[in-house]
Amino acid sequence: MPQRHVIKQISVFVNNEPGRLAKIARMLSEEGIDICAFNIAEASGFGVFRAIVREPDKAYQRLKERGVIVKETEVIAIPMQDRPGGLFEAAAVLGEEGINIEYGYAYSGKAGATFFIRVDDTDSAIKALLDRGMVLMQEGDL
Amino acid sequence: MYWNARMECMPKEELRNLQFRELKTLVYRLYSFNNFYRERMKEHGVHPDDIQTLEDIRKLPFMYKKDLRDHYPTKMFTSSKDEVVRYHVSSGTTGKPTLVGYTENDIEFWTDSLARALTSIGIGTGDVVQVSYGYGLFTGGLGLHYGAERVGATVLPASVGNTERQLELMMDLDVTAIACTPSYMIHMGEVAKRLGIDFRRDTKLRKAILGAEPWSEGMRQHIEENLGIEAYDIYGTSELSGPMFTECEERNGIHVWGDVGIVEIIDPETEEPVPDGEVGELVITVLKKEAMPMIRYRISDLTYALEETCTCGRSSTRIGRISGRTDDMLIIRGINVFPSQVEHTLMNIPEVGEQFMIILDRKGALDTMTVQAELSPEHFSDKMADMMAIKKKIDSDMRKYLNISVNVELMDPGSLPRFEGKAKRVIDKRVF
């Protein structure tokens, strides 16, 4: 089932204020939330901090309670250690299906490298990738 | 040298008598021909017959910018449309512009006022005047153009922009005086420096007539030292016809010709007159104006009056440099912006909350305006394209409604200051 392969990601709005990112990182550590992977997208005046954390629902709730603009979104995790060209294959499959990759970022963990991608239609993407016999990670794998 | 020595140097008492006669005529004319002002006078319980001395001007009701907007476009005109020979339009504050109409005589009074002013700063035949105010709906360009031609100067109608070409023409045509905004003057200086042009060595420029935006003595000093010229303050607004009055060579206040206008300085709260030399709100009555007479018009500019005759010999009341505004209008790159406009624009953008701050700064010679607004949590997106679209929307709405480009900063909800009572949403870091 596709749902099992959905990875929850939290995204946090980071405004221009100096030290804002450090503040958010400190909040997460105070709440005892482990960050597995993260990525920062920035534009003039603000940034978006995206992270894969151990307990995304708790992280989302806690940050929200502390007045931070936070959003939970779904990403797909593609293990990279499988074989060379894995990412290309995944991208090609999604392209064929007309699914758009919004952004992606990689991290290297105990189990090797993983690529997280955010697409415009997560369920269809997971289905297409699994149908083509590709391996996707599940929340517990991280 | 005087342009009209009799008027400019008229003994105080004689001038006051003249003002009284002109005022009385004006009030009778308005009462008879201007529905708006007749109603205003009736509401106020005053009749033209009540004006028995010059001081009785205080019995008359005020006029406000709002009146002009409420009666847009021509409902306040006292001349027929056929008599109106020109319109000028100033940018509106709530999207509604202010229209000013001129009869042939109005253009004449305006031109004559500037001819006296230009003569008082030593500009006349033999001078080449580069008019680098905008030509068009704005009054600056055409006003100075007519005035400079009247005193016999050669006019270079450069308008604004294309600074390198302006500098080239300034050198090629031996320009001796320029009229522009103080910030444009500074900008020209910076461009000249970059091009290796030395104003002292390479140009004949010796005088600058600067205005249309607030500026300070510090800025005057900066301009004079950097460019080796004398800088003069000019004052006016479209409601008074346009730029009308300047300092004389003594540079101790702006001469408001007594036969043209009556100056009052009042306490904006009590509306009582303040003593000579004390800062208050400027109230002007334009004695010579046909299409759109202005009686006790509250411009909202803060200044002080000097009644004593100037050392140059001119007897008219002088007003000091405008030190601020009674309302909160901002002038950014010569464009009028009200915080209420910013508020209004943001209110229609669901992606941000209603709290905002305006930060004004100056980069080089240009004013910058930053608007901080709080992002609504439900509109936050992890996709940059969505976020950029929000910024772009705010930016383009600001451009559309305020006619000015702003930097937009998205903030966390609750991070901007909250105010109890009167909000202070503007931080002006500009150093004039």
Q: Nearest by CB to A13, which of B391, B407, B412?
A: B412
Tokens of B201: 């060595």
A31 with A53, same domain: the answer is yes
The CATH number that applies at residue A24 is 3.30.2130.10
Least confident of A20-29, A91-100, B47-56, B421-430: B421-430
**Cβ–Cβ below 8 Å for B380 and A11:** yes
Contact B268, B280 (CB under 8 A): yes
10-residue stretch averages of pLDDT, chain B, 432 residues long: 96 96 94 91 95 96 91 90 94 68 97 98 98 92 97 96 93 97 83 92 97 77 90 94 96 96 93 92 94 93 93 96 70 78 80 86 86 90 91 90 86 77 73 68
Instruction: Encode pLDDT of B375-418 as tens digits.
Output: 988 899 999 999 999 999 999 998 888 888 888 999 888 788 87
Q: Nearest by CB to B382, which of A20, A43, A118?
A: A118
A137 with A78, same domain: the answer is yes
A133 with A79, same domain: the answer is yes
The CATH number that applies at residue A117 is 3.30.70.260
Containing B407, the helix (H) or strand (E) segment is strand B407-411
3-state secondary structure B116-175: HHHHHCCCCCCCEEEECCCCCCCHHHHHHHHHHHHCCCEEECCCCCCHHHHHHHHHHCCC
Cβ neighbors of B314 (< 8 A, separation 6 or more) are B2, B8, B9, B120, B248, B255
A26: in domain = yes
A34 with A85, same domain: the answer is no
- Calculate how close chain A gets to B120, using CA atoms only, in Å: 50
A49: in domain = yes
Q: How many CB pairs under 8 A join A and B?
A: 58
Q: Nearest by CB to A69, which of B375, B383, B388?
A: B375
CA neighbor of B284 nearest in space, from B241, B248, B246: B241
Q: List, as one string, the DSSP characters of B192-255.
A: HHHTT--HHHH----EEEE-SS---HHHHHHHHHHH--EEEEEEEEGGGTEEEEEB-TT-SSEE
Residues of A in contact with B415 (CB under 8 A): 15, 17
A47 with A91, same domain: the answer is no
A68 with A115, same domain: the answer is no
Helix and strand numbers (H, E) in chain A are 4, 6
What is the domain extent for residue A62? 8-73
A3 pLDDT higher than 70: no
**Cβ–Cβ below 8 Å for B412 and A46:** no
> Which of B382, B388, B418 should be substituted to probe chain A, the one whose Cβ sees the most A Cβ atoms within 10 Å?
B382
CA neighbor of B277 nearest in space, from B248, B317, B218: B317
Residues of A in contact with B381 (CB under 8 A): 11, 48, 71
Q: Which domains does chain B have, with CATH numbers?
A: 1-327 (3.40.50.12780), 332-428 (3.30.300.30)
Q: Nearest by CB to B388, which of A16, A43, A68?
A: A43
**How many separate domains does chain A show?**
2
A2: in domain = no
A17 with A53, same domain: the answer is yes
A96: in domain = yes
A95 with A58, same domain: the answer is no
What does DSSP say about strands A101-109 and A46-53: parallel, antiparallel, or unpaired? Answer: unpaired
Tokens of B136: 């068009």
Residues of A in contact with B377 (CB under 8 A): 69
Choose the final residue of a domain: A73, A108, A129.
A73
Contact B271, B263 (CB under 8 A): no
ipTM of the complex: 0.85
A1: in domain = no
